[in-house]
């Protein structure tokens, strides 16, 4: 069972190598790694061009060209994916341990009625300190109302989900992954299985957390998405409160 992992990157030379090693160190080897570089000029592209694997079933596809943003890059990656399973590993993020993909694929094999697998995520800062842990628990439609949803990089989906529902919407700059996840759950009614462990370690300061302006833009986009899916307004507020409570638990406040 081949798994396609998509990485979108732009000028992340200090972090991209760690992400690449995280994938190369996986015990599961039937991997297609699709890297969409947005035209890096800081040395990232040199690192990517030297990224090789001697493993027979480890395929690397590198595309470097200007794009229209993160979701445009991810859509390019999805269009190139040939694996039965598709996952996302953002530049700078890491798999939590070297058996993550092995466990994900085994979950699909053992529970052939499921359409997707998701797990927990740990957030860390530039010093490597854990600042937030998101423990998601078992899937329940009712949780959507209170802002619950799988964290994007921990969600692995069968390729036919993308084939049936379409790709990421590019009219959203920051929150298209949230819209896509709601589309999977509420429109597609696809069955998701919870793998009860941390699957991905994510660096803080991502696309929605770089400035107050982007935080506000993310809130507005979330609100538009919630309204589109006929969810109550408090869904957006509770979504933010969940994040705050996760941070407070880490620091035991």
CATH of the domain at 222: 3.90.550.10
Give pLDDT, residue 208.
Answer: 47
Task: Kindly report the pTM of this predicted structure.
Answer: 0.93
From first to last of its 253 residues, the chain has per-residue pLDDT tens of 999 999 999 999 999 999 999 999 999 999 999 999 999 999 999 999 999 888 888 999 999 999 999 999 999 999 999 999 999 999 999 999 999 999 999 999 999 899 999 999 999 988 889 998 999 999 888 899 999 999 999 999 999 999 999 999 999 999 999 999 999 999 999 999 999 999 999 998 655 445 788 889 999 999 999 999 999 988 988 888 877 776 776 666 5
Give pLDDT, residue 210.
Answer: 56
Nearest Cα to Cα of residue 148 among 167, 134, 131: 134
Give pLDDT, residue 53.
Answer: 84
Helix (H) or strand (E) holding 46: helix 44-49
Q: In this structure, are residues 84 and 158 in contact, taking their beta carbons and an 8 Å threshold? A: yes
Give pLDDT, residue 241.
Answer: 81
Dist. CA 138–CA 149, nearest whole Å: 11
Dist. CA 161–CA 108, nearest whole Å: 14
Give pLDDT, residue 93.
Answer: 96
Dist. CA 229–CA 231, nearest whole Å: 6
Q: How far is CA 69 from CA 19, 35, 104, 187, 205, in A?
A: 20, 14, 28, 25, 17
Residue identified by tokens 């994040």 is 243
Its domain, for residue 88, covers 3-250
Number of domains in the chain: 1
End-to-end CA distance of the chain: 44
Give pLDDT, residue 184.
Answer: 97
Nearest Cα to Cα of residue 116 among 158, 66, 59, 145: 158
């Amino acid at each position: 069972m081949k798994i396609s992992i998509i990485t979108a990157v732009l000028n992340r030379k200090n972090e991209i190598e760690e992400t690449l090693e995280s994938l190369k160190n996986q015990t599961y080897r039937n991997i297609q790694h699709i890297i969409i570089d947005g035209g890096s000029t800081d040395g990232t592209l040199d690192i990517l061009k030297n990224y090789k694997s001697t493993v027979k079933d480890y395929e690397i596809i590198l595309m470097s060209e200007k794009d229209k943003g993160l979701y445009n890059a991810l859509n390019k990656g999805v269009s190139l994916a040939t694996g039965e399973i598709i996952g996302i590993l953002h530049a700078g993020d890491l798999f939590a341990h070297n058996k993550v993909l092995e466990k994900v694929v085994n979950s699909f094999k053992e529970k052939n009625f499921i359409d997707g697998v998701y797990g927990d995520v740990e957030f860390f800062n530039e010093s490597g300190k854990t600042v937030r842990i998101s423990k998601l628990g078992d899937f329940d439609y009712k949780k959507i109302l209170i802002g619950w949803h799988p964290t994007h990089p921990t969600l692995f989906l069968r390729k036919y989900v993308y084939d049936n529902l379409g790709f990421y919407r590019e009219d959203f700059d920051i929150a298209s992954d949230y819209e896509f996840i709601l589309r999977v759950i509420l429109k597609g009614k696809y069955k998701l299985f919870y793998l009860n462990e941390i699957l991905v370690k994510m660096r803080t300061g991502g696309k929605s957390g770089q400035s107050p302006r982007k935080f506000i833009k993310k809130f507005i986009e979330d609100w538009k998405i919630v309204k589109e899916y006929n969810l109550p307004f408090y869904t957006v507020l509770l979504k933010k409160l969940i994040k705050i409570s996760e941070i407070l638990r880490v620091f035991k406040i």
